[in-house]
């Protein structure tokens, strides 16, 4: 309002404006009305706060608060003062020591993860950057004793070793992991949904794992593993290899054959031209910046989810295609997970107790037959950090041989 209590009035020709004097509001009535307005606002806000927080009593076993929808959260972020925005911005994040369980929907979870920084803040001396291990499983973890030895076998105490990693487990809905508090898997199960081999639901689960792990700012690298995977080197070696890498490890193949280019769905054009179509393996390792991109992807992934159906497999084509389109210089174009496809078929070879021996493990760990690959632009002999697929029956042989051959 212009000075002097005037209001602007437009003329009929739409060009000129004149000022009309407005009547001033009685000063004596302004204070009582202001008092009643404050009271009325309080009565309106209090039920809203109770409503938004009421989910706490009805939350899950883990006792986590209910969250308002993304629209409410976004409004809060946009209206927050600059000094307070940092706290509002990340209030959904989970402390690393707490349970991985929560009551967010997929929409809320992916929305929250999309707001996470693509680069983590400088590490504190007492808190090194962590590797997030994302377990995509059907339910049980039959090789958990081997992984527990790997996670705790750092040459120091279990507590110091656990500063190097975090664990997230996606299982079949309804299955509940049961590990003691001393286990790295204790309460690390995330809310999960059913997955079906070859269907987009598999990548839904991968994005769900990534989004959960992104809520911990100390997680810098994100590696997808399964219940049939084993580590081939000690935790300290794996951690150093990944956190010091300038690239993310995603296999990218330009395959002109029936199982490559032949799977391209025409419905992806023009967002994904056929010339950019790529193939790879499901088992990825990503830097934080790419993990945020995947969790936040509202451009490519909805198209893949709708168009890429068998004989097109989202888990083999989505990441290799989209990341080479958006961040080709960030990829090492190889995987750090070893598999054996020599037996043919739709699935790689599976190894049981009879297959596991000293020579076999030495070859996988690169001690028997030296392989060469590129790492940060230099040739190295350590190319694989994990291997699959191992049957539950191989566990005892693995536990017996891992201290001497695998180093944990």
Q: What digits encode the pLDDT tens for the residues 12-57?
A: 333 333 333 333 444 444 454 455 554 555 555 444 443 344 433 3
Distance, CA of 67 to CA of 72 (rounded, Å): 9
The answer to whether residues 137 and 247 belong to one domain is: yes
The answer to whether residues 14 and 135 belong to one domain is: no
Query: Each residue of 361-393: pLDDT tens digit?
Result: 999 998 877 789 999 999 999 999 999 999 999
Q: Does residue 72 lie in a domain region?
A: no
Q: pLDDT tier at 120 (50, 70, 90 boundaries)?
A: low
Checking if the pLDDT of 62 tops 70, the result is no
Query: What's residue 28's pLDDT?
Result: 42
Query: What's residue 94's pLDDT?
Result: 58
CB-side exposure of 278: number of CA atoms within 13 Å?
Answer: 19
The answer to whether residues 344 and 233 belong to one domain is: yes
The answer to whether residues 123 and 44 belong to one domain is: no
Checking if the pLDDT of 160 tops 50, the result is yes
Instruction: Decide: 382 and 342 in contact? Cβ < 8 Å.
Output: no
Return the exposure string of 8-30: e unless at least 16 CB atoms fall within 10 Å of the residue's CB, then b. eeeeeeeeeeeeeeeeeeeeeee
Query: What's residue 126's pLDDT?
Result: 62
Q: What percent of the chain has pLDDT over 90?
A: 64
Query: What's residue 93's pLDDT?
Result: 60
Distance, CA of 144 to CA of 160 (rounded, Å): 20
**Domain span at 258:** 106-405
Domain count, the chain: 2
Query: Each residue of 123-134: pLDDT tens digit?
Result: 666 678 999 999
Checking if the pLDDT of 241 tops 50, the result is yes
Query: What's residue 22's pLDDT?
Result: 37
Most confident region among 94-103, 104-113, 319-328 by mean pLDDT:
319-328
Q: Does residue 99 lie in a domain region?
A: no
Residue appearing with tokens 């290899």: 241
What's the mean per-residue pLDDT of the chain? Answer: 81
Q: What is the DSSP string of 363-404?
A: HHTTSSS---EEETTEEES---SEE--B-GGGHHHHHHHHHH
The answer to whether residues 211 and 357 belong to one domain is: yes
Q: Does residue 379 lie in a domain region?
A: yes
Structure tokens at 270: 């023009």
SS3 for 289? Answer: helix
The answer to whether residues 165 and 40 belong to one domain is: no
Query: What's residue 17's pLDDT?
Result: 37
Checking if the pLDDT of 96 tops 70, the result is no
Distance, CA of 290 to CA of 246 (rounded, Å): 12
Query: Each residue of 278-305: pLDDT tens digit?
Result: 999 999 999 999 999 999 999 999 999 9
The answer to whether residues 115 and 26 belong to one domain is: no
Q: Does residue 262 lie in a domain region?
A: yes
Query: What's residue 124's pLDDT?
Result: 65
Query: What's residue 3's pLDDT?
Result: 41
Q: pLDDT tier at 157 (50, 70, 90 boundaries)?
A: very low
Report, as an integer, the average pLDDT of 311-322.
97
Q: Which of 109-118, 165-174, 290-299 has the lowest mean pLDDT?
A: 109-118
Query: What's residue 204's pLDDT?
Result: 98
Distance, CA of 301 to CA of 108 (rounded, Å): 17
Query: What's residue 92's pLDDT?
Result: 55
Q: Does residue 251 lie in a domain region?
A: yes
Sign of torsion over alpha carbons 395, 397, 401, 406: negative
Distance, CA of 110 to CA of 395 (rounded, Å): 35
Query: What's residue 175's pLDDT?
Result: 93
State how far Cα 142 lies from the chain centre.
23
Structure tokens at 34: 């202001």
The answer to whether residues 12 and 128 belong to one domain is: no
């Amino acid at each position: 309002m212009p000075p002097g209590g005037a209001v602007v009035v437009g003329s009929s020709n739409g060009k000129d404006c004149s000022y009309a004097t407005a009547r001033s509001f009685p000063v004596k009535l302004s204070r009582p009305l202001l008092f009643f307005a404050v009271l009325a606002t309080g009565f309106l806000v209090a039920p809203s706060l109770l409503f938004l927080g009421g989910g706490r009593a009805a939350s899950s076993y883990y006792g986590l608060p209910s969250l308002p929808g993304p629209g409410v959260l976004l409004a809060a972020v946009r209206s927050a003062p600059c000094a307070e925005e940092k706290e509002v911005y990340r209030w959904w994040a989970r402390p690393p020591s707490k349970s991985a369980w929560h009551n967010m929907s997929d929409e809320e979870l992916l929305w929250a993860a999309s707001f996470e920084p693509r680069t983590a803040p400088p590490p504190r001396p007492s808190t090194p950057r962590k590797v997030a291990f994302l377990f995509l499983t059907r339910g049980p973890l039959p090789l958990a004793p081997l992984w527990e030895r790997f996670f705790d076998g750092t040459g120091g105490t279990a507590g110091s070793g656990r500063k190097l990693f975090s664990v997230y487990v996606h299982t079949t809905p309804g299955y509940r992991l049961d590990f003691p508090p001393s286990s790295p898997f204790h309460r690390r199960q995330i809310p999960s949904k059913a997955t079906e081999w070859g269907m987009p639901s598999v990548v839904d689960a991968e994005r769900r794992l990534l989004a959960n792990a992104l809520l911990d700012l100390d997680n810098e690298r994100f590696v997808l593993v399964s219940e049939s995977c084993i580590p081939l080197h000690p935790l300290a070696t794996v951690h150093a290899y990944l956190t010091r890498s300038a690239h993310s490890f995603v296999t990218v193949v330009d395959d002109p054959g029936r199982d490559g280019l032949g799977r391209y769905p025409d419905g992806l054009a023009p967002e994904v031209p056929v010339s950019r179509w790529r193939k790879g393996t499901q088992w990825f390792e990503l830097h934080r910046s790419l993990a945020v991109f995947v969790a936040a992807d509202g451009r490519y992934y909805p198209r893949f989810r709708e168009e890429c159906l068998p004989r097109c497999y989202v888990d083999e084509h989505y990441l290799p295609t989209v990341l080479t389109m958006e961040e080709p210089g960030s990829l090492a174009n190889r995987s750090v997970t070893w598999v054996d496809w020599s037996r043919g078929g739709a699935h790689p070879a599976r190894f049981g107790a009879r297959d596991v021996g000293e020579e076999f493990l030495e070859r996988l760990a690169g001690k028997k037959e030296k392989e060469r690959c590129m790492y940060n632009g230099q040739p190295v002999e350590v190319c694989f950090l994990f291997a699959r697929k191992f049957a539950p029956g191989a566990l005892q042989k693995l536990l017996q041989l891992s201290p001497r051959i695998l180093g944990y």
